[in-house]
Structures are given as structure tokens and as C-alpha cells.
């Protein structure tokens, strides 16, 4: 009986452990490196990508970039393992990057660990629970950015003008347009409907830009769009037509001339929200505005990369993305930030 129970318990333990994402580090840990970088997974999912990154592609290039910049990277499957091994980093300058879903509050890093890191000299924490709470719900993010003077869609409680209605959390959720005079659901994220239509060769497209950033440093700006004839202004990566001529026209005519504005906008967002690996969804409004409609955490956008692969060689804004050059650059940004702080 005892052996049977023990076997069952062991089996359940192994099954639980298998659910934790893992990563086999490519480069050896260099304890004497000038900067240490700790990538820390979550207790529930470990180092699983969770829609934030594709570890097997991103992490090797991140390691390589850090090594070239004079840093060493260590991967910890859970915060608990990191806490047990914190002494390994001695008094070295340290960057700690947490990997978890910002909307799953029960999976946040332990507060005692975060406080310990905040008190540790020469340490920078990325993707902290403090930042997560600012971006976990769209209305909260909207208010924070609006109060800081950053352009966001105006939140509305009555449909005096057309409203774009979305869920308060999550992606790929049902959305709708509430027309003038119709009832507005107060439990949803309701904002002014912004006209993002762009005409290309006689056809009209709703356009949304995705800016990938490490804190304030922009790594990529991707064009996403969908035909107006689809009937909804809600744009996702997979809605984007696989037509390089359309995407190139939008990129060169509407995005490239505004890159300085986009870089400045992303820097302002980071100054308000804090240090993190960001994905900013920015609307290309017809009235000249660049409203920020959503902010989330992402290290790389695997969905968009997979979707645009057939035409990627013809798109200027995808250069280097499939080689994960951005991962190397991110590692350099993190390393330089720690060096500058010290």
C-alpha cells in the first residue's frame, strides 16, 4: 500500500514538473563576468514562453549577445530556485528579468524576493509585479498613460460617438463597435473608435503598429493591418494580408516618416511604466495621432513572425527579425543599463 501511494505521488510530481518550461543553457556561466543576468521563470510555468517569447530561438541569441557585451546569463526555472542561488552572484552587478504572464496575478514573483532585489546594490529588475499591475488591465493602463500626457483612446461610458468595445484583459477576445445611442456595457473596456483607415491601390485597410521595446529602446516596429471589408477595426497579426506590396506601401508612406515620433512615444511610455520587455500596440490615426491602445509584455512576436514568413524577405521592417538580431540587441541594452547604473 505504502509503495503504491509513493509511486502515485512520485508520478504526480513528475507530471507537475513536466509542465514547467525549461531551457538548456548554451554558454557556460562565467562567475567573474562584469555583469550577471538572471532570467527567472514562474512557479507555475517555469521558463515556458507563455506567449511572451519562443525560448528555443530567443534565449540562445540573448546569451550570445550578453557574452559579447561582457555579461553572463543564468536561467532559473522558478523564483524559488533563484532565491536559493542568489549567493552565486556575490556582489556582482545584476539584471533580473522575470518571465511570466502579467495578467495572472497569482503567478507573480514573490514580493519578498522583489523587495530583496530592490534593496540589493547595483541591481535592475525587469518585468516586476509593480509594472505588471500597471498593464494587466487595459483601463488601468489607459488612465496611467493618460494622466502622464501620453495619447490614448478616450474612455467613454455613453455612445455619444461610435465606441470600440473590448474586454478589460486578454488578447484575441470578442470586440464590437457600439454605434451612436446604443447601450454600453460598463464591464468592458470602452473607448472612442479611432479611424485608422489607409488606402493602398484603391483598397482600404485598418492599420495597427506593434512596437517591440526593451524599456525605452525600440527593437522592431511591425506593420499589422486588415481589409476594411472584413467588417471590424480589430487588427491582429494573423489578419495581416500576405501581400508585401501593401505592407511596404504602408511602411514607407505612413510609418517610416514618423519613426522619430514612435521612438519618442515608446521612451515616454517606459518612463511612466518602468523597466520591462514591452509590446506596444499603436494606432495609426487618420487625424495624425499615434494613440497607444494596448501595452503588454513580449520578448518577441512569434505569431507575427510565423504569419509573415512567406513574404518576409520582401519586407524592410522584418530585417533581422528571423535571425533574432533583436535578442542580441536586447542583451546589450540590459548589460549596458546595469553598467551605467553602477
DSSP letter (8 states) at residue 179 = P
Give a yes or no: residue 241 inside a domain: yes
Quick one: what percent of the chain has pLDDT higher than 70?
94
| Dist CA 214 CA 47 (whole Å) | 19
Sheet harboring 163-166: ordered strands across? 176-178, 163-166, 189-192
Q: What is the DSSP string of 185-223?
A: -TTSEEEEPP--EEEETTEEEEEEEEEEEETTEEEEEEE
CATH of the domain at 122: 3.40.50
Find the DSSP H helices in the chain: 2-18, 55-68, 79-84, 111-119, 129-135, 138-147, 244-250, 259-273, 302-308, 325-341
Q: Based on the fold, state whether residues 100 and 174 are members of the same structural domain.
A: no
Q: Based on the fold, state whether residues 174 and 227 are members of the same structural domain.
A: no
Residue 342 has pLDDT above 80, yes or no: no
pLDDT reported for residue 204:
97
Q: What is the DSSP string of 141-176?
A: HHHHHHHTT---PPB-SS-SS-EEEE-SS-SS---E
Q: Could you give the number of structural domains in the chain?
A: 3
Tell me how far apart the terminal alpha carbons of the chain are, to the nearest angstrom.
59
Give a yes or no: residue 219 inside a domain: yes
Q: Based on the fold, state whether residues 120 and 169 are members of the same structural domain.
A: no
Give a yes or no: residue 133 inside a domain: no
Q: Based on the fold, state whether residues 254 and 213 are members of the same structural domain.
A: yes
DSSP letter (8 states) at residue 239 = G
116: closest CA among 100, 133, 96, 101?
A: 96
CB atoms within 10 A of CB 166: 22
Domain membership of residue 45 as a residue range: 2-127
Residue 10 has pLDDT above 80, yes or no: no
Q: Based on the fold, state whether residues 210 and 283 are members of the same structural domain.
A: yes
Res. 17 pLDDT band, cuts 50 70 90: very low
Residue 294 has pLDDT above 50, yes or no: yes
pLDDT in tens, 116-167: 999 999 999 999 999 999 999 999 999 999 999 999 999 999 999 999 999 9
Give a yes or no: residue 261 inside a domain: yes
59: closest CA among 79, 39, 41, 45?
A: 39
| Dist CA 79 CA 101 (whole Å) | 14
Q: Based on the fold, state whether residues 238 and 316 are members of the same structural domain.
A: yes
Mean pLDDT score, 300-326 = 93
Is the Cβ–Cβ distance between 219 and 201 less than 8 Å?
no
Residue 9 has pLDDT above 70, yes or no: no
Q: Based on the fold, state whether residues 322 and 176 are members of the same structural domain.
A: no
Q: Based on the fold, state whether residues 205 and 169 are members of the same structural domain.
A: no
pLDDT in tens, 241-280: 999 999 999 999 999 999 999 999 999 999 999 999 999 9
Is the Cβ–Cβ distance between 242 and 311 less than 8 Å?
yes
Helix (H) or strand (E) holding 226: strand 217-227
Give every CB contact of residue 195 below 8 A, 6+ residues apart in sequence. 285, 286, 287
pLDDT reported for residue 18:
47
Q: Indicate the pTM of the whole model.
A: 0.91
Q: Based on the fold, state whether residues 266 and 236 are members of the same structural domain.
A: yes
Q: Furthest-apart CA pair in the chain: how many Å?
A: 75
pLDDT in tens, 167-187: 998 777 788 899 988 999 999
Amino acid at each position: 500500500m505504502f509503495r503504491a501511494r509513493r509511486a502515485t505521488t512520485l508520478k504526480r510530481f513528475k507530471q507537475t514538473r513536466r509542465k514547467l518550461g525549461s531551457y538548456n543553457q548554451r554558454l557556460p556561466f562565467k562567475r567573474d563576468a562584469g555583469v550577471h543576468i538572471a532570467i527567472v521563470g514562474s512557479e507555475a510555468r517555469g521558463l515556458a514562453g507563455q506567449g511572451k517569447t519562443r525560448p528555443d530561438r530567443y534565449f540562445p541569441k540573448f546569451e550570445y549577445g550578453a557574452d559579447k557585451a561582457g555579461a553572463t546569463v543564468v536561467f532559473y526555472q522558478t523564483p524559488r530556485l533563484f532565491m536559493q542561488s542568489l549567493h552565486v552572484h556575490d556582489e556582482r552587478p545584476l539584471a533580473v528579468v522575470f518571465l511570466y504572464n502579467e495578467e495572472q496575478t497569482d503567478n507573480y514573483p514573490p514580493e519578498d524576493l522583489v523587495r530583496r532585489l530592490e534593496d540589493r546594490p547595483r541591481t535592475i529588475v525587469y518585468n516586476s509585479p509593480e509594472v505588471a499591475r500597471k498593464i494587466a488591465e487595459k483601463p488601468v493602463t489607459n488612465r496611467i498613460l493618460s494622466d502622464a500626457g501620453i495619447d490614448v483612446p478616450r474612455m467613454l461610458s455613453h455612445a455619444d460617438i461610435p465606441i470600440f468595445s473590448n474586454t478589460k484583459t486578454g488578447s484575441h477576445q470578442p470586440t464590437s463597435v457600439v454605434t451612436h445611442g446604443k447601450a454600453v456595457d460598463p464591464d468592458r473596456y470602452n473607448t472612442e473608435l479611432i479611424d485608422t483607415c489607409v488606402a493602398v491601390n484603391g483598397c482600404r485597410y485598418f492599420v495597427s503598429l506593434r512596437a517591440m521595446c526593451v524599456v525605452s529602446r525600440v527593437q522592431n516596429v511591425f506593420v499589422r493591418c486588415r481589409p476594411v471589408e472584413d467588417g471590424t477595426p480589430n487588427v491582429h497579426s494573423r489578419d495581416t494580408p500576405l501581400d508585401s506590396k501593401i505592407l511596404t506601401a504602408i511602411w514607407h508612406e505612413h510609418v517610416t516618416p514618423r519613426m522619430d515620433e514612435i521612438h519618442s512615444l515608446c521612451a515616454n511610455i517606459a518612463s511612466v511604466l518602468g523597466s520591462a520587455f514591452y509590446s506596444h500596440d499603436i494606432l495609426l490615426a487618420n487625424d495624425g495621432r499615434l494613440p497607444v491602445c494596448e501595452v503588454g509584455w513580449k520578448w518577441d512576436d512569434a505569431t507575427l513572425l510565423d504569419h509573415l514568413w512567406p513574404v518576409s524577405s520582401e519586407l524592410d521592417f522584418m530585417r533581422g527579425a528571423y535571425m533574432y538580431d533583436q535578442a542580441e540587441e536586447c542583451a546589450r541594452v540590459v548589460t549596458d543599463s546595469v553598467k551605467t547604473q553602477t
